[in-house]
Amino acid sequence: MTDLKISGMTCPSCAAHVKAALEQVAGVERADVSDRTGLSRVTTAADVPVEALIGAVADAGYRAEPRTVARTAAVGGAPGQNTARLQEADSGGGGAPRKLHVVVIGSGGAAMAGALKAAERGARVTLIEQGTIGGTCVNVGCVPSKIMIRAAHIAHLRRTSPFDDGIGAREPVIHRDRLLTQQQARVAELRQAKYEDILETNPDITLLPGEARFESETTVVVRGRDGQDRSVAFDRCLIAVGANPQIPDIPGLPDSPYWTSTEALATDTIPERLAVIGASVVAVELAQAFARLGSRVTILARRHLLSREDPAIGEALAEVFRDEGIEVLDGTVATSVAHSEGEFVLVTRQGEVRVDRLLVATGRMARTADLQLETAAVAVDSHRSIMVDQTMRTSNPRIFAAGDCTDQPQYVYVAAAGGSRAAINMTGGAADLDLRTMPAVAFTDPQIATVGLSEAEAAKAGIRTESRTLTLDNVPRALANFDTRGFIKLVAEAGSGRLIGVQAVADGAGEIIQSAALAIHNTMTVAELADQLFPYLTMVEGLKLAAQTFTKDVTQLSCCAA
């Protein structure tokens, strides 16, 4: 039996239409609908998903959602037992009908967005977290890394800048312990304000500390910090457990005190010599930060820097790194690692690399191994990432997933958007996550930003393209900054001129790319982009100039010519 609240009914005829629509759903025996109260009670012969009922109502021209009620659950157990059950009171019998119960596993960006949206839409939420509230981004990812990167940028500018002839440069003194204190204080402040305080003040979200695993397709078991197990039944579940650093299989590496990004961001010292295994976004961001704070850095790239991007991006970044004294070893793999008396020795086919610290940044893998997903009939891919559709639904229609534990791009804004959309769909709404215009940014200096398709990706999709690359010595803002490192590249569909991709290596590329994303989302052509008004002496004006290169020689234009 399922109780629904129906919106949009104004007369008995409306109720009759809704009744007929519900009784067309397979498994429904009877639907009682009242236009006066706006309520429907659906009697079923089988377990009919509430989404099927809501969809039938929507097809009839009305809106339905699970009927929300007060919470009547409690955690308890008989003396001597180590298992308790969170139960829900059924509607009827004089009591209030129950709220939809949503279990959220995790407390990071995807989990919090999902929990808050589900509660906002009338659900009762149990949020399960085995570690520190807030997940990767605020604690050991985005926030601390960007603070460290910014501090390193300031150190770099004090040491050298394009204006040293008129502003005296000096070698900065780095107090990493003090920078770390400042960094972690801001992390704690944001975790408190954006996670802990919100959970504490939301009456519809209950925090349950512990480690979750699935007991069935509708139940999880939570092992609390007291060692006891609690069985928690749910109507819907959102898995948002994030990911862990992926460690390559290199002989000797597991026995050495290597760093992942977590340890690198928490160190209170700057090593004299640092090696970085990997060429991902995390690898290049932290490599440059440590170099600017005083380390001699060597990067071992299996292919080349940021090899999944347009090759010009990696080439431009490698040139910048070498100018800053960072050694970039392309096509280099460590075949073994040894650690003795405070020194790492990495053996490669090109020779040995000896350093004081080793950072491994070769990607992240979904943290799903201990969830017993097979018990819940939740499918994963070969990397143990949970496979989801555009609604964030897994192979189990009651269970959704979002964030780094899925097969979607590992960005916190994708995670949060996915968690929010999952909650809408879990509570009777309809929302898809469209990643076709997803912007991505690497916070190196210059920044790297992309959106849409590269030339190679377009070719793989069978799209003929026409591209233009604008070097930054054609952008007035870059000239005024005396920093013309990088480029802006536009990829358009041949014939139509429709903009389908942008790649940028530039100071402020992360700010530029959102304008490009909006242009692609709104199916603008390069001609339309070139005809827009862009403020003079901004880096985003480079988009207009790049678009103009499809039809003009921009070197022959005046400074702000249209």
Q: Which residues pair with 237 in a beta bridge?
A: 103, 399
> Cα(502)–Cα(469) distance, rounded to whole angstroms?
10
- Which contiguous run of DSSP H or E holds residue 505? strand 499-506
For the chain, the C-alpha Rg in angstroms (whole number) is 27
Q: Tell me the two tokens of residue 400.
A: 């959704």
- What lies within 8 Å, CB to CB, of 319 at 6+ separation is none
Active-site option among 112, 137, 148, 237? 137
CA distance 200 to 207: 8
Let me know: does 62 contact 7? Beta carbons within 8 Å. Answer: yes
Catalytic position from the list 1, 62, 405, 536: 62
User: How would you classify the pairing of strands 357-360 and 273-277?
Assistant: parallel
173 CB neighbour count, 10 Å cutoff: 8
DSSP 396: S
Answer yes or no: 536 catalytic. no
For every residue of 19-47, DSSP letters joined together read HHHHHTSTTEEEEEEETTTTEEEEEESS-
Contact 137, 443 (CB under 8 A): no
Q: Is there a contact between 244 and 365 (Cβ–Cβ < 8 Å)?
A: yes
Question: Does a cis peptide bond (omega within 30 degrees of 0) precede residue 203?
Answer: no
CB atoms < 10 A from the CB of 115, how many? 30
| Residue 14 designated active-site | yes
Active site residue 195: no
- The H or E element that residue 102 is part of is strand 101-105
Residue 137 known to be catalytic: yes
326 phi and psi, to 5 degrees?
-85, 125
Q: How far is CA 449 from the centre of its chain?
A: 15
Told to judge if 405 belongs to the known catalytic residues of this protein, a careful annotator would answer no
Instruction: Please identify which of the residues 1, 365, 524, 560 carries the catalytic annotation.
Output: 560
Q: Report DSSP state, residue 406.
A: B
CA distance 526 to 524: 7
Residues 437/517, Cβ–Cβ less than 8 Å: yes
Selected catalytic residue, list 1, 14, 195, 387 = 14
Whole-angstrom Cα distance, residue 493 to residue 59? 37
Q: Contact 9/21 with Cβ under 8 angstroms?
A: no
Structural tokens at position 528: 């339309």
Nearest to 422 by CA among 47, 102, 129, 69: 102
3-state per-residue secondary structure call for 188-226: HHHHHHHHHHHHHHCCCEEEEECEEEEEECCEEEEECCC
Rounded Cα distance between 307 and 482, Å, is 28
Expressed in angstroms, the distance from the first to the final Cα of the chain is: 65
Instruction: Extract the tokens encoding 198.
Output: 């919100």
Active site residues: 9, 11, 14, 62, 137, 142, 559-560
